[in-house]
Amino acid sequence: MALFDRKAEESEIVSGRDAATRALSVTAVENDFVEGVYDKLAKVYDLIFGPTLHPGRLQAIERMNVQPGERVLEVGVGTGINLSLYPDTCSVTGIDFSSSMLEKARERAARKEHRHVRLLQMDAADLKFADGSFDIVYAPYLISVVPDPVKVAQEMRRVCRPGGRIIFLNHFLSANPILSRIERLISPFTIHIGFKSDLDLPAFLAQSGLQPISIEKVNVPKIWSLVTSVK
């Protein structure tokens, strides 16, 4: 299967001339708040968000088409639920801001003997890696919870090598006017379970300087998107 065999859906990426300047969400958060939310979720994350969001994880790995020797950075590794999905012929670096989530990931990596994996505590908006350090940079179910999604995307782009893949798996604001209104209303509440429900995808892409080559709807219901760009 070709790595990218679908064109980005025009309706997903074109939504007005103000995309480059409009607010991404009605909800603002700080790192301390996000860390607190995920520290509380650490013990139950796999139970709540494991099976329901797993089809998207599997599709993301398929789209990556990871080759032997490639370097993968997972931004927001959480409890390490993705670690077993990567081939052991690549090297995987996982970072997370939450020490509680990272502790779960380390326990999982040790239990599964993932010797090709290293796990580090780090702020996604301030990645401590050199430019072009990775072939694939992947943020699963992360970008709608960080304080500054654009800064995180720019950092992900920076540490990705030229020609490498930058992948986001996330919920974004619906294009449907009625659903989008509801998502904006509930966003201040959904942040307490780990995500903003109203992150604006066209605005996010425009402000991050990313050109998606593939946008696919995943999971059931299909309210989550797999967005792939190439640097």
Where do the structural domains in the chain lie, given as residue ranges? 10-230
* DSSP 8-state assignment for residue 24: S
Q: Which residues of 35-64 are buried (b: 16+ CB within 10 A; e: fewer)?
A: bebbeebbeebbeebeeebeebbebbbebb
Q: Hunting for tokens 């072009």 — which residue is that?
A: 132
Look at residue 2 in the predicted model and tell me its pLDDT: 39
Three-class SS of residue 226? Answer: strand
Is the confidence at residue 12, as pLDDT, over 90? no
Q: Give the span between the Cα atoms of 226 and 57, in whole angstroms.
A: 9
Number of H helices, E strands in the chain: 7, 7
pLDDT at 16: 52
Distance CA 193, CA 165 (A): 29
Q: Residue 14's pLDDT is what?
A: 42
Taking residue 106's Cβ as centre, other Cβ atoms within 10 Å add up to 16
* Residue indicated by tokens 């032997």: 68
Q: How large a percentage of the chain has pLDDT more than 70? A: 93
CB atoms within 10 A of CB 98: 25
Mean pLDDT of 80-104: 97
Task: Compute the Cα dihedral for 215, 216, 219, 223 and give only its sign.
Answer: positive
Query: Please, what CATH class does the domain formed by 10-230 belong to?
Result: alpha beta
Average pLDDT over residues 131-147: 97
Q: CA-CA distance, 208 to 206, in Å (whole number)?
A: 6
When pLDDT is cut at 50, 70 and 90, the band that residue 11 belongs to is very low
Which pLDDT band, with edges at 50, 70 and 90, does 171 fall under? Answer: very high
Q: Looking at the predicted structure, is the pLDDT value of residue 70 above 50?
A: yes
166: DSSP letter: E
Q: Give residue 19's pLDDT.
A: 87
Average pLDDT, the chain: 92
Mean pLDDT in residue range 176-203: 95
Q: How confident is the model at residue 10 (pLDDT cuts 50, 70, 90)?
A: very low
Q: How far is CA 24 from the centre of its chain?
A: 16
Q: Which residues contact 9 (CB under 8 A, 6 or more apart)?
A: 215
For the chain, percent of residues with pLDDT exceeding 90: 89
Q: Is the distance from CB of 33 to CB of 188 less than 8 angstroms?
A: no
> Which range has the worst mean pLDDT, 20-24, 119-123, 159-163, 213-217?
20-24
Q: How far apart are CA 52 and CA 164, in angstroms?
A: 29
d(CA 83, CA 109): 7
* Claim: this prediction has a pTM higher than 0.75: yes
